[in-house]
Structure 1
Amino acid sequence: TYYEENNLHAFLLEQIKDYPTLLAELHAFLPYIDNWATCDSLRPKCVKKHLPEFLREIQTWLSSERIYTIRFGLNMLLSFYLDDAFEPEYLLWAAQVQSEEYYVQMMQAWYFATALAKQWDSTIGYLQTDRLNLWVHNKTIQKAIESRRVTDQHKQYLRTLKR
Structure 2
Amino acid sequence: MTQDQSPITARLLALQDPGYQAFQSKLIPTLPPQRVIGVRTPILRQLARSLAGSPEAEEFCRALPHTYYEENNLHAFLLEREKDFDAALAGVEAFLPYVDNWATCDSMSPPVFRREKARLLPAIRRWLASDQTYTVRYGIGMLMQHFLDEDFCPEYPALVAAVQSEEYYIQMMIAWYFATALAKQPEAVWPYLAEGRLSPWVHNKTIQKACESRRITPGQKAALRALRRPGRGDAAR
CA distance in 2, matches of 1:59, 1:131: 20
Give 1:106's match in structure 2, choosing from 169, 172, 179: 172
Q: Which runs of 5+ in 1 are unaligned?
A: none
Aligned to 1:156: 222
Shift of 1:91: 0.4
Alignment match, 1:125: 191
Counterparts of 2:174 and 2:227, CA distance in 1:
17
Between the aligned partners of 2:220 and 2:118, the Cα distance in structure 1 is 31
Partners of 2:222 and 2:123 in 1: CA distance = 37
2:138 maps to which residue?
72
In the TM superposition, residue 14 of structure 1 has moved relative to its aligned partner by: 1.0
| Aligned position for 1:87 | 153
State the one-letter code of the partner of 1:4.
E
Q: TM-score, normalised by structure 2?
A: 0.68
Is 1:58 aligned to residue 124 of structure 2?
Answer: yes
- The residue that corresponds to 2:84 in the other structure is 18
Q: How many residues align?
A: 163
CA distance in 1: counterparts of 2:223 and 2:80, whole angstroms: 39
1 CA distance for matches of 2:158 and 2:127?
Answer: 15
Deviation at 1:149, TM superposition (A): 0.7
* Structure with a larger share of its residues in helix: 1
Match of 1:41 among 107, 112, 128: 107
The CA distance in 1 between the partners of 2:149 and 2:214, in whole Å, is 17
Higher Rg: 2
Return the structure number with greater relative CO, CA threshold 8 A, min gap 6: 1
Identical aligned pairs, as a percentage? 58
Report the TM-score, using the length of structure 1 for normalisation.
0.99
CA RMSD in angstroms, aligned pairs only: 0.6
What is the Cα deviation at residue 44 of structure 1? 1.1
**Structure 2 unaligned spans of 5+:** 1-66, 230-237
AA aligned opposite 1:6: N
Alignment partners' CA distance in 2, 1:117 and 1:148: 9
- Look up the match of 2:95: 29
Q: Shift in Å at residue 53 of structure 1?
A: 1.4
After the TM superposition, list the runs of 4 or more consecutive aligned residues in structure 1 that deviate by more than 3 angstroms.
none
CA deviation profile, 1:51-107 (whole Å, cap 9, x unmatched): 011110000000000000000000000111111111111000000000000000000
